[in-house]
Chains A and B, each alone.
Chain A
Amino acid sequence: MTAGRRASSEDIGPEIQAFMRLAFDTVKPRWVVTVERKGTALIRTHCDPDHRRGHPTDWGKVISSEALQRVDPAALREGNFLVLDEGIYHGRRIQKALDVLEEKQVPRNRVKVAAFSVHEHSSFEDVSVRWFGELASDRYGEVRRRLIEYFQQQGSLLLDTEHIEVPVELNCGPLEFFDALCRAGVGVEHVSGGGQQNLTIYNPVLLDEADLLRRLPRKTTIRNVVRKIRVVERARNRYAIIPIFYPSVPAEAGLDSMDNIEECLRAQAFDAESMFHLVGVFAAINLFRTVFAFLRDLIRDGKISVSVPQLGDVDDSVSHLKVLFPSLDIEALRGFVERSVEAGRAYRLRRPQMRTTVRVEAVEGTRYGAELRRLHWLVLRRVLDVWHRSPGKRRGATLAELMQIGQTNKLAPQSEVAEALLSAAIDRAIDDADLIPDVSVLPFSDGVRRVVRTFKLDGELILSDVERTAALWRSMTDAPPIRDRGTQWM
């Protein structure tokens, strides 16, 4: 079924909701397979009380395309499948998901595909539900951009599905809140494309670092890894705190090396890549201790209130992990999150742990805002270079490879500020759906091969856009001029 609408630049939210209702009413699925990441983001915007009729009411019925391999075929014997993505350019990702379903012996006639927009050159034709079809490249890009802005307005939903967040409500100025967190690490404040305030704390202090390292798989390293605290404005006076921490895990580590990781996470490990993700979830939840230790005084003074949402609440931010780990004990995971939050609240910081607040404002129209945009472009350019130069299988760029860009920073003489800006630039690129996180197994100088977080360009459209721009704009230090419409590069 095609809605046959013409793409427009007006507010796209009602159209997304109408598309989702149409897809669910048409297919009446027992299962929803979301193509990462935007398929999952669509479901996250959709899971509010007003739209629950006929739709999955729990995350147990939603499976990420990346988790599909791990699902027992026996569980998939009944019901219709809705394979959901925000857009189909060539159709490779959709086809990949369908191939996995076929491997799981799910008959094709039980599978329906829904995409919000379809490119005119897509080789994938069997789309049951679409809102925009036969879109030329310009229009496809515009719809994509509007969709991403919508996700940003809903609260940066393009962050990885495996991030857990805890909401806080402010009864003080946001800068008091930000300043408290910026004592844990250098903070970069910026505004997303959707107009939400964002703060990224770079390399926040680890409380009891030695204890954390003892619990990680042997030979895991936390050097040159993604470690940050994202703070995203969700509504007036409400923010989501999202710690992100991906230690690099040895590729040869056995499952027994996970023995000291929280039980509910340990039980989900089955290979090196899953271990990487689960260790990441574990390490990130530990960062809640840092967060709430630094917010302790504000909470005590009633300037911030926090509570970990219950499962099934509107702001439940734990259950969506079932999309990636279908058999995850969500109740136990929520308990772990709560304990970490409480441990942070009870923690008395020692003076050496409290840094001077450093908060950089990188807002559009300012020097640091221009620097953020410049770094955003250089990150994409570097990712493209690494992509082309990777020997063997193409891969994304590691954080260490991206951090080399920071040496060109003229505005921030202190290197930590330069690194923090670069980290925020990577966040912007992810939020804008220019980059997508990935994993690769890489050799390290100590001879150990480890699973590491990498970043690659998000899809063919972005890849061709960046390639074309890089061919026209050769500067290795500056960003190209801003374009008025469509994608932001030339």
Chain B
Amino acid sequence: MDVSFGRGHNLRLCYRSCLLLGFVLRKRFEGLRSRKGDVAGLSEIDVDKTMRLIDKLWEVRPGKSGDPRQLIDLCVRRDYNDKHGHRIAFPIPHYAPGEDPGRLKPVLDVIKIFDAETSPAARIFSSREQKTEWGTVRLLEPQVSLSRLLPLHRAKVVSSEEMTFLEDVGQMCGYLEPDQVIAIGRHEDADGTRQSLLWEMYRWKESTLDALDTLQSFGTYAEAPAPAASASRKLWQSWSFALECKKKAGLLCEDKYGSDRRFYVEGLDYLQSDEVTIERPVLDLLLSVQASGDEIWQDPLVSTLRFPAFCCWTFSSYCCGTLLKLDPFKGSEFARRTASVSAEDLQRAHWYLTKCVGVSREAQPAEFSLEWLERLENTPLVEIRLVPEEVIGDSTKTADFVANAQEIAQWVIETCVEPAIEGLDSQEA
């Protein structure tokens, strides 16, 4: 089999892969639109994770042949990981045959480059901006119809069965809500979820230390807006990485943020329900590549990370949630993004954190639950000096709060996070 690594050949493979992905995304978009009415587009994370799901299914599609004319597999890697989590990525074509590529570029980023260089009629996506509570979000509307795959079909790169398969996959994806397709796209087995969760904890650690360092350099927090803007962004990043830890660990499934475990199980259950009309072989294929929710989240590879992930979440809810309510940060875009954090949430976070910092490394549970934590009677191993209401009502306490937060963060990192992320072995962006 001729697997030429010439730049032109590789680019052609990349482009063809993008067309296939773009087509399935189009079917997803149309499915959502037919069920929900006007849909302005798909979020970038929705697109990103759906593409990962498509690759998982394309890899194991029925009738896959070794015909070198065909697009046997999409030329992507699925274990690429960056601040957006597990993604599919293309190998960058600057290496000699036999060498490990080493460098990867996320598929979505490559498509943006393709689209920037082509006329609107030839783009994979058209985009528009939409204002949400999270700020301005870029929505993508896939623009690849079947007629654009026709040249590939005629050149026997893609067979009729494969085109039908892609349609069926797209139709199936069209039944899933964004949270569900994101969860199913980024999880498939316990090992992958563990890796993904460890990366989130690593990023949480880095962003939290960075945020607290930045805050410590402020004096009275009544500084000029620019430092506060930078600090609020970092606080929000820490909070959002903590949220990802919580979601990926399958914690607090029923709260307002949900969890990947809940969305994953809901999505797979819905696809198997009578309300959905999809081709059975495609559904069976999906169920064969995706472990069940229990197989992922009850596996010790994942369940042993629940407590550390909970600590990250509880800390950031307490610390970042409190700070973003203070005057220097109020009104900032990032404070608006955490507007959903209520006073009750802060109280609860404070209480849980008090409990968590009383659990030594040896006493960490193999299977964490809130009930376990609530039953715990222990003494904090690091002092939590201030409750959120005290800080929000009195700006003179901010410096002390930040200093204390650093101590607590250090404890969480040393006791919970670093022991966990020691085994991190996936490549980093």
Contact = CB atoms under 8 A, between A and B. Distances in A.
Nearest to B23: A361
Interface stretch (A44-52, A168-176, A424-432, A456-464): A168-176
Contact of A365 (B26, B143, B163): B163
A176 B143 CA distance: 8
Given A359-B30, A367-B167, A170 B120 contact: yes
A172 B126 contact: yes
Nearest to A170: B121
A170 B119 CA distance: 10
B121 A189 contact: no
B153 A365 contact: yes
Interface in B145-168: 145-147, 149-150, 153-154, 158-160, 163-164, 167
B19 to A, nearest CB: 13
A178 B142 CA distance: 13
B103 interface: no
B22 to A, nearest CB: 10
A490 interface: no
A60 B121 CA distance: 37
A357 B33 contact: yes
Contacts of B30: 357, 359
B34 interface: yes
Contacts of B33: 356-357
B123 A173 contact: yes
A21 B30 CA distance: 49
Contacts of A197: 147
A175 B145 contact: yes
Q: B-side binding surface: helix, strand, loop or mixed?
A: helix
A369 B163 CA distance: 11
A396 to B, nearest CB: 30
A365 B147 contact: no
A483 interface: no
Nearest to A197: B147
B150 A364 contact: yes
A356 B37 contact: yes
A174 B144 CA distance: 9
Interface in B385-428: none
Contacts of B147: 189-191, 197, 361, 363
B143 A171 contact: no
A364 B37 CA distance: 29
Contacts of B55: none
Nearest to B277: A413
Interface residues of B, number: 27
Contact of A363 (B141, B149, B159): B149
Interface in B1-60: 26, 30, 33-34, 37
Chain A residues touching B, range: 20 to 34
A199 to B, nearest CB: 10
A2 interface: no
Contacts of B149: 363
Of A173, A236, A237, A363, which is in contact with the most chain B CB atoms at under 10 Å from its CB? A173
A174 B143 contact: yes
A445 interface: no
A237 B123 CA distance: 12
Nearest to A233: B147
Given A237-B121, A364-B150, A176 B141 contact: yes
Contacts of A303: 120
Contacts of A9: none
A475 interface: no
Given A236-B121, A357-B33, A366 B26 contact: no
Contacts of A174: 121, 143, 145
Contacts of A365: 150, 153, 158-160, 163-164
Contact of A173 (B120, B146, B150): B120
B347 to A, nearest CB: 46
Leading 6 A-B pairs by shortest Cβ distance: A173-B143, A363-B146, A365-B160, A361-B146, A365-B153, A237-B121
